A and B are shown apart, each in its own frame.
Chain A
Amino acid sequence: MEVRLRVDPVACDGFGHCAELAPELISLDEWGYPIILGESIPKQFRGVAEMAVNQCPRKALFLERVATPTTTPTTR
């Protein structure tokens, strides 16, 4: 089962705590609001993702199941 991170932008305070905890999964825009990287969370980062979710002070970050496994076609 693929999962991904989502942000509730109304709840988010934009202090960027999550990006410090999970820089592999979250970057910040120039105003400090999180940008979720990638379509789904690689296995090895599941734990990190869960930690970021649990530590979000506004409960703005959450995990969501990816409905159809998105195999993003990459051209190499």
Chain B
Amino acid sequence: MTDLAPPLSSQRLLAGTDHGQRLNYEQHRATHGDLLLPARKQVHQWRTTMLDQIATAGLTGRGGGGFPTARKLQSGVNGRRRPLMVINVMEGEPAAKKDSVLACFAPHLILDGAEVLATLTHAVSIAVAVARDNPAALHSLELALSERKAARHTPFDVALVAPPGRYVAGEESALAHWLDGARAVPTFRATKPSKLTIKSRPGVIDNAETSADLALIARRGPEWFRSGGLGDACGTTLATLSGNVEEPGVFEVPLGTPLRNVIALARPQGPILGALLGGYGGTFVGPAALDAPYSQSGLRPYGSSPGAGVIVAFDGSSCGVAETARIARWTANESAGQCGPCVFGLPALASELELLANGERVSGIQERILSHLEVINGRGACAHPDGVVRLVRSAFAVFANDFQAHAQGVRCPRAGAPSVLALPENSGEIEWK
């Protein structure tokens, strides 16, 4: 996560960051203008207007869930106790770099958004959570906070905090848990979406890119924000492109851009056959989806969504079964080790996929995989296992021929082909505190 290539396209969120330019507080204000927070007397009126504007802007959470931000905030605003505002820069998805890019190059946009959110929710303070193993983002945000202090701009208490950098540690109940002094593992919540509690206060958690979007909406209004997207999609978004491309990196694109054109920004090495979208708990899509608009509604017919903005483009040079097995094993190792169906189910699933990928003829293996998907789905405390199930199911559909050939024991012509996936080592020593 340290060697970040500078973002290559820049329009709104990434304005002024061309050539790897980090915007300090002064440059940030010169680029975006000042953020005007309401005077005490106007706060009430401002909140109502702002919530309306966020709804009109059509902003949806950019952390993966894609839930309408205005609706989510409504519950945070109406609480009786003043909440703690948390900005989630954890970015546990190994193939995602967009929140890190924002933090490294446009940190003040995230912090401005945090102030908008804290004003909206009447928060007592703000915590900005960055994974411990992301020193570049931590450093840039730390510097940004001191730049704001030097400019005497400190309307809120802001704490920069660094939870362990695990895949599920950025899940919101895990983050709340850790901020509460416990381990960064998800907690079981009987009803979802549920209220989060941090230090006996309500916790409101929003993603870094969502926060940055709010910083822009507060300045320029909802119509301007909407106009960043194409068709019925609202605003721009940050996509992290990797896979069989020449120039992997983070690109800001209008939501609703045809997926093919988004991938083209990273200069594909050859004809692209499909992509992994969302993250390692996301979905594979095949050639038909390449002409779909890159947006929630555009990808829905393909059972997919932009999720956390991950796009791994593939040209068919590696084996779909082997890639699926790799992700299954990696995600199995990232289980927080709490729930039986996740702890036992994911490794079992990974082993079966590995057998199939290695071309071992085990009768009934496909059926066993399918039945394990059935058994695992929906039975963890968090959505981690469900994400794996979704991913494997999509792989079955998109790589149907590969799976078929492997099941029939046909020698895989791409056995041993290099993987297109960025899969870091699972942190050997389990660190959750």
> Could you say which residues of chain B place their CB within 8 Å of the CB of A14?
340
Instruction: Decide yes or no whether A38 CB sits under 8 A from chain B.
Output: no
Interface size class of A (residues with CB under 8 A): 10 to 19
A29-B341, A31-B341, A31-B345 in contact; A10/B381 too (CB < 8 A)? yes
Contacting pair A64 B190 (CB below 8 A) = yes
B375 in the interface, Cβ–Cβ < 8 Å? yes
Chain A interface mostly: loop
Does chain B have a CB within 8 A of A35? yes
Q: Is A42 an interface residue (CB 8 A)?
A: no
Report the interface size class on chain B.
Answer: 10 to 19
B188 touches A11 (CB 8 A): yes
**Known contacts A6-B190, A64-B190: A31-B344 contact under CB 8 Å:** yes
Residue of A nearest to B385 (CB): A9
B340 contacts A33, CB within 8 Å?
yes
Question: By the criterion CB–CB under 8 Å, are B188 and A8 in contact?
Answer: yes
Question: Which residues of chain A from 41 to 61 have a CB within 8 Å of any chain B CB?
Answer: none
The yes or no answer to B383 lying at the interface (CB within 8 A) is: no
Docked Cα-Cα span, A13 to B167, in Å, equals 24
Contacts of B375 in A (CB 8 A): 29-30, 35
CA distance A35 to B342 in the complex (A): 13
How far, in angstroms, from A41 to B345 measured CA to CA in the complex?
A: 26
Residues of B within 8 A of A21 (CB): none
CB distance from A43 to the nearest CB of B (A): 23
Q: Which residues from B are CB-within-8-Å of A8?
A: 188, 190, 381
**CB-CB contacts below 8 Å: A6-25 with B:** 6-12, 14
A contact residues vs B (CB 8 Å cutoff) = 6-12, 14, 29-33, 35, 62, 64
Given pairs A6-B190, A30-B375, 4 additional interface contacts (CB within 8 A): A9-B380, A12-B339, A31-B341, A33-B344
CB within 8 Å of A: which residues of B?
A: 187-188, 190, 338-342, 344-345, 375, 379-381
